Amino acid sequence: MSALLSQRVQRSFSRSFHSYHEAACPQARIADLLVGALARAGAPARFGSVLELGCGTGHLTARLQRQFDCPQMTLNDLSPAACQTARQYGATFLCGDALALDWPEVPSLIASASMIQWLPDPLALVRRAARALPEGGWLALSGFGPGHFRELSALGSQAQAPGLCPRHALAAAVAPDLDVLACGEDLLPLYFPSPREVLRHLRRTGVNGQARQNWTRARLARFEAAYRQQFGTAQGVSLTYQAVWIVARKPVGAAPIRKSASDGAASPCGHVRHRGP
């Protein structure tokens, strides 16, 4: 992660840390999805040591602790403000860029929700996590796909995160080391009364870390008109999150099960869901 991007993302999330938790309802639903997928994939009731990357205000942390016995958790985040999260959940805090830091050895679960999109090379982190797990260790991770915030992309906004990646890329990145047990994609559309409310949502959740737009009155008026025209619906203007996620496990004493490209229907990568508001 470049120093400039890292500073910008850190500033953006630190600034919005207090508004994030309430405003980030898609991220809360994504954390639900991920923990649900982990439980359905047959995860054990207890993880001896958990490493969570990009914990933020703890949407995923809370759900992991509710679902599983996690006696030893290490929470990482770029933003020092997330130290509060670690305190709240009785965890050790590891502050800094997840890709650059040393990790605790042999975590039985590496988890991360809605963070890897901030990395210029998210798959480097995914591959590192796959290698770091011991035999029998679990990975549960979500990011965002290329269709994330399609409305903003269509309108030429610079607010997109740099590391969007399709779900099959997540599966391919871990395949040399892990068995992929589940892998999916969910579209989560939100509806707002106006394009200005969309911008407010982006500010409150800190997900506009990349945006460097100078909003003159004329530019804002053009943006609002185009947004309403292209993405106005009876429910309001849309903003669509495209979550991608994966649950995988390092095999015990054997090479991971290889899936050929023709495995299509049987592949755990087949899951796509569209969710209403």
Ligand X SMILES: C[S@@+](CC[C@H](N)C(=O)[O-])C[C@H]1O[C@@H](n2cnc3c(N)ncnc32)[C@H](O)[C@@H]1O
Q: Which residues bind ligand X (CB under 6 A)?
A: 1, 9, 13, 24, 27, 31, 53-56, 59-60, 76-79, 82, 97-98, 113-115, 118-119, 207
User: Of 189, 187, 188, 203, which Cα lies nearest the Cα of 237?
Assistant: 189
Query: Nearest-CB residue to ligand X?
Result: 56
CB of 1 to ligand X, least distance (A): 5
Closer residue to ligand X, CB minimum distance, 179 or 186: 186
CB of 57 to ligand X, least distance (A): 6
Closer residue to ligand X, CB minimum distance, 43 or 78: 78
Provide the token pair at 227.
């947004």
Give the Cα separation of 217 and 215 in Å (integer): 6
Give the Cα separation of 45 and 9 in Å (integer): 34
CB of 238 to ligand X, least distance (A): 19
CB of 9 to ligand X, least distance (A): 5
Give the Cα separation of 125 and 147 in Å (integer): 21
CB of 181 to ligand X, least distance (A): 21
Closer residue to ligand X, CB minimum distance, 70 or 179: 70
